Amino acid sequence: MGSFRVGILAVLLALSACSSSEQGSPTAQAGTGTTTASTPQPAPTTTKTTTQSTRPRTIDLKAFDPCRIMEKIRPEVGLPEKPLTPEKSVAFPGSATCIQTTAGSGPSLQVLPILSLGLADYALSYQVSTPLTLEGFPALLLEGNYQNDCYVGVDVADGQTFSIQWTITVPNGKPAMSDVCAAATKAATAAMKVLVAS
């Protein structure tokens, strides 16, 4: 009988050790609601994209005299014959330019083989650019800050741009930009034929 009481006592002690001493119903702890695991986000990456040129071949402008190009295209663009001498470009050191102007009002043409600047960088200076293709070479028709000149830049080689500028001066007015840019495109097309055939 004594061993039975000892056994009962041991069971009661075990049960009291496992039970909580606090009275009442269990309640949930106050919290902020559902917790979501925080996953570290990868740092943003910047990808530099470069456009592969679609020019059919490379034309090294170092081999060309801009005034010889001018002489060959003058009949096509309606400029008279006159002596021309290349000048050093102020805007693009290391490059030579050829300019034929008209006294008073009328058109002026500049042929400028740029040896130190690719077309994408050259085009940054202009407000409006329109893609063209001349003799298979990618080009841009460019409008600047003035209202009487238009430019065409042609991608002929890495780090080089063949540039044509056409300007029309009219007394007491402004020419239609469509006419100026059409003339620039015509001159650039004629000049590119000379480059491709050389």
Helix orientation angle between 177-197 and 66-77, rounded to the nearest 10 degrees: 120
**Residue 149: its pLDDT value, please?**
92
Single pTM value for the model: 0.72
Q: Is the pLDDT of residue 3 over 70?
A: no
Percent of the chain exceeding pLDDT 70 equals 73
Q: Is the pLDDT of residue 33 over 90?
A: no
Q: Is the pLDDT of residue 26 over 70?
A: no
- Using DSSP's 3-state secondary structure scheme, residue 131 falls into strand
Confidence band for 195, pLDDT divided at 50, 70 and 90: very high
Q: What would the two tokens of residue 163 be?
A: 């540039």
CA distances 97 to 58, 94, 135, Å, are: 20, 10, 22
Q: For 16-26, what is the mean pLDDT?
A: 41
pLDDT digits (tens, 9 = 90+) for 161-175: 999 999 998 888 888
Q: Which residue has better confidence, 190 or 38? A: 190
**Residue 52: its pLDDT value, please?**
56
Q: Where are the domains of the chain?
A: 61-197
DSSP 20-40: -S--S---PPP--S---PPPP
Q: Is the pLDDT of residue 37 over 80?
A: no
Cβ–Cβ under 8 Å, residues 96 and 163: no
CA distances 183 to 18, 60, 139, Å, are: 99, 25, 15
Cβ–Cβ under 8 Å, residues 183 and 77: yes
pLDDT digits (tens, 9 = 90+) for 66-99: 999 999 999 999 999 999 999 999 999 999 999 9
DSSP 82-124: -----EE-SSSTT-EEEEE--SSSEEEEEEEEESS--HHHHGG
Spatial distance between the Cα atoms of 175 and 86, rounded to a whole number of angstroms: 28
Q: For 4-23, what is the mean pLDDT?
A: 40
